[in-house]
């Protein structure tokens, strides 16, 4: 019997060495077949290692193999990865549902394909296109998982940049529509009124009373123009990226306490009950002036549009869902029929209760500020039942600590 041995050569190919002199034909054929298969498998492995990142874990997701490309991307040495859970590269970006889908597929022996954002040893992030292949035992249960990964960070960054450009253009287009509305509906009428009043003054035959009335009309119209210009200025302040946007840690309970003092001084004759629950999230790193404006406007709106026959009840609370902070403002006020809103609830100068003083800019300002903070806002309302507003903002651990 001749000795046979398999060795790994310097060029990373598996080689089968043997002194096969005098080997019987059947054994020689089997040996050559084994050598051919081993060579083929070695070529496949070489091609895979050269083209992709590869990581292999056992059934408990403990790493037992990584190739050089995986180490280069993650910036970990092999001995820092072997024996560790694959979660060592998790970036806490994806939702629990996303990982549940991945887990449910591979633990049932199904191949999973998708994209993951991972974290390197130095804390930087990268994206990979991933295929996870379960290897099954005789009982059809996975005993290890082979993950083949392609770095797609450049593509994802390009997609993100394209989305940012598209979003910016959409916002700019919406801004132009809003300003066009203001100019056509809220500046044209006062200017036309001023022109008419000045024409009256140019008539030398008008009496003193008519003259005084005309001057009063000019004054009132000028004040209306000033209000519109101030509204425009307030909107521009929010949208101006060069404006002061100093961030700090905001404590919601403290902010609401400060706002309540001011509101009770303003609505001194009104009965209202204001409750808040910030147990889920009480601190957030952001622009305090924006949050003060949002909380103040929505609280005042609830009081202004209360039902005269009932004590106004306002509930404010925070919650967290995955990577999202949710702020809810709920009241038992007059409410309104959303079908009357025609998808224009947050439009500037949009009003639903004409019997209450106001100019219809509060909700528009709140929406503008929320979107500037990277969030979104939605509203539900029912006539004579009340209104509920939900604000959603990005929430990560670093939005609490301020390390952004």
- Tell me the pLDDT tens digit for each residue of 160-191: 888 888 877 776 776 666 666 555 555 665 66
Answer yes or no: do 400 and 251 share one domain: yes
Answer yes or no: do 303 and 356 share one domain: yes
Answer yes or no: do 255 and 347 share one domain: yes
DSSP state of 312: E
DSSP strand E in 10-51: where? 14-18
Do residues 58 and 64 lie in contact, with contact meaning Cβ atoms separated by under 8 Å?
yes
Answer yes or no: do 277 and 259 share one domain: yes
Do residues 325 and 395 lie in contact, with contact meaning Cβ atoms separated by under 8 Å?
yes
pLDDT of 77 reads: 95
Cβ burial, residue 197 (10 Å; 0-12/13-18/19+):
buried
Answer yes or no: do 273 and 372 share one domain: yes
Do residues 157 and 72 lie in contact, with contact meaning Cβ atoms separated by under 8 Å?
no
Q: Pick from 125, 151, 177: which residue ends a domain?
A: 151
Q: Pick from 198, 213, 243: which residue ends a domain?
A: 243
Give 121's pLDDT tier (boundaries 50, 70, 90). very high
- In the chain, what are the helix, strand and coil shares in percent, each to the nearest 5? 45, 25, 30
d(CA 179, CA 157) in angstroms, rounded, equals 33
Average pLDDT over residues 46-51: 71
Number of domains in the chain: 4
Answer yes or no: do 104 and 221 share one domain: no
- Cβ atoms < 10 Å from Cβ of 144: 18
- Looking at every residue in the chain, the average pLDDT score rounds to 79
Do residues 339 and 322 lie in contact, with contact meaning Cβ atoms separated by under 8 Å?
no
d(CA 381, CA 404) in angstroms, rounded, equals 36
Give 16's pLDDT tier (boundaries 50, 70, 90). very low
Judged by average pLDDT, the poorest of 4-8, 30-34, 167-171, 255-259 is: 4-8
pLDDT tens for 195-236 read 776 777 666 667 778 777 777 777 777 766 766 666 666 665
pLDDT of 242 reads: 47
Question: How much of the chain, in percent, has pLDDT values that exceed 90?
Answer: 37
Buried (b) or exposed (e) across 73-90, using 16+ Cβ within 10 A? bbebeeeebeeeebeebe
Q: Choose among 371, 342, 346, 340: nearest CA to 360.
A: 346
Average pLDDT over residues 52-73: 93
Give 103's pLDDT tier (boundaries 50, 70, 90). very high
pLDDT of 13 reads: 45
The helix-helix angle for 208-239 and 153-181 (nearest 10°) equals 180
* pLDDT at position 310 over 70: yes
Cβ burial, residue 205 (10 Å; 0-12/13-18/19+):
exposed
Q: Choose among 40, 32, 33: nearest CA to 13.
A: 40
d(CA 356, CA 274) in angstroms, rounded, equals 21
Answer yes or no: do 363 and 379 share one domain: yes
* pLDDT at position 15 over 50: no
Answer yes or no: do 281 and 391 share one domain: yes
Answer yes or no: do 47 and 78 share one domain: no
Kindly state the greatest CA–CA separation across the chain: 134
- 56: domain range? 52-151
d(CA 97, CA 95) in angstroms, rounded, equals 5
Residues 6+ apart with CB under 8 A from 347: 178, 181, 364
pTM here? Answer: 0.49
Do residues 311 and 267 lie in contact, with contact meaning Cβ atoms separated by under 8 Å?
no
* Cα–Cα separations (whole angstroms), residue 95 to 100, 281, 282: 9, 18, 22
d(CA 62, CA 83) in angstroms, rounded, equals 6
CATH number of the domain that residue 192 is part of: 1.10.287.130
pLDDT of 347 reads: 63
d(CA 164, CA 282) in angstroms, rounded, equals 29
CATH number of the domain that residue 146 is part of: 3.30.450.20
Judged by average pLDDT, the poorest of 122-136, 308-322, 354-368, 380-394 is: 354-368
* Bridging pattern class, strands 53-58 and 14-18: unpaired
d(CA 58, CA 81) in angstroms, rounded, equals 13
* pLDDT at position 5 over 60: no
Residues paired with residue 388 on neighbouring β-strands, in sequence order: 330, 380
pLDDT tens for 347-404 read 655 555 555 454 456 788 888 889 888 899 999 888 889 899 999 999 875 454 444 3
pLDDT of 57 reads: 95
pLDDT of 76 reads: 95
* pLDDT at position 295 over 70: yes
* pLDDT at position 129 over 90: yes
d(CA 44, CA 50) in angstroms, rounded, equals 10
Give 107's pLDDT tier (boundaries 50, 70, 90). very high
Q: Pick from 243, 270, 298: which residue ends a domain?
A: 243
Answer yes or no: do 270 and 353 share one domain: yes
pLDDT of 8 reads: 40
The helix-helix angle for 252-266 and 288-304 (nearest 10°) equals 40
Dihedral class, residue 169 (left if φ above 0, else alpha if ψ from -120 to 50, else beta):
alpha
Answer yes or no: do 253 and 359 share one domain: yes
Answer yes or no: do 125 and 260 share one domain: no
pLDDT of 183 reads: 58
Do residues 194 and 222 lie in contact, with contact meaning Cβ atoms separated by under 8 Å?
yes
Q: Which two tokens stand for residue 306?
A: 């209360």
């Amino acid at each position: 019997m001749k000795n046979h041995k398999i060795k790994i050569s310097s060029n990373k190919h598996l080689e089968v060495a043997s002194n096969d002199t005098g080997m019987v034909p059947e054994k020689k054929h089997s040996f050559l077949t084994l050598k051919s298969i081993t060579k083929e498998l070695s070529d496949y492995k070489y091609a895979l290692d050269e083209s992709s990142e590869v990581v292999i874990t056992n059934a408990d997701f403990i790493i037992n193999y990584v190739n050089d490309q995986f180490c280069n991307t993650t910036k970990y040495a092999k001995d820092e990865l072997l024996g560790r859970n694959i979660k060592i590269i998790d970036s806490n970006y994806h939702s629990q549902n996303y990982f549940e889908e991945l887990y449910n597929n591979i633990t049932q022996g199904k191949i999973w394909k998708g994209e993951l954002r991972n974290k390197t040893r130095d804390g930087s992030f990268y994206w990979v296109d991933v295929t996870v292949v379960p290897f099954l035992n005789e009982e059809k249960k996975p005993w290890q998982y082979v993950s083949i990964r392609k770095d797609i960070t450049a593509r994802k960054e390009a997609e993100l940049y394209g989305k940012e450009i598209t979003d910016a253009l959409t916002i700019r287009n919406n801004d132009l529509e809003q300003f066009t509305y203001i100019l056509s509906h809220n500046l044209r009428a006062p200017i036309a009124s001023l022109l008419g009043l000045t024409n009256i003054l140019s008539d030398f035959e008008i009496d003193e009373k008519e003259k005084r009335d005309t001057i009063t009309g000019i004054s009132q119209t000028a004040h209306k123009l000033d209000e519109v210009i101030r509204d425009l200025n307030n909107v521009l302040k929010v949208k101006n990226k060069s404006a002061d946007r100093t961030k700090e840690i905001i404590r919601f309970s403290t902010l609401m306490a400060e706002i309540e003092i001011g509101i009770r001084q303003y609505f001194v004759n009104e009965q209202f009950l204001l409750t808040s629950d910030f147990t889920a999230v009480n601190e957030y790193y952001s622009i305090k002036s924006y949050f003060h404006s949002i909380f103040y406007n929505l609280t005042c709106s609830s009081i202004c549009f209360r039902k005269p026959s009932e004590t106004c009840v306002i509930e404010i609370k925070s919650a967290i869902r995955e990577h999202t902070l949710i702020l809810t403002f709920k009241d038992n006020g007059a409410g309104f029929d959303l079908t009357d809103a025609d998808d224009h609830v947050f439009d500037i100068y949009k009003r639903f209760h004409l019997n209450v003083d106001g100019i219809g800019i509060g909700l528009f300002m709140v929406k503008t500020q929320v979107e500037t903070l990277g969030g979104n806002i939605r509203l539900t309302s029912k006539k004579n039942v009340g209104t509920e507003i939900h604000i959603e903002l990005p929430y990560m651990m670093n939005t609490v600590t301020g390390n952004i």
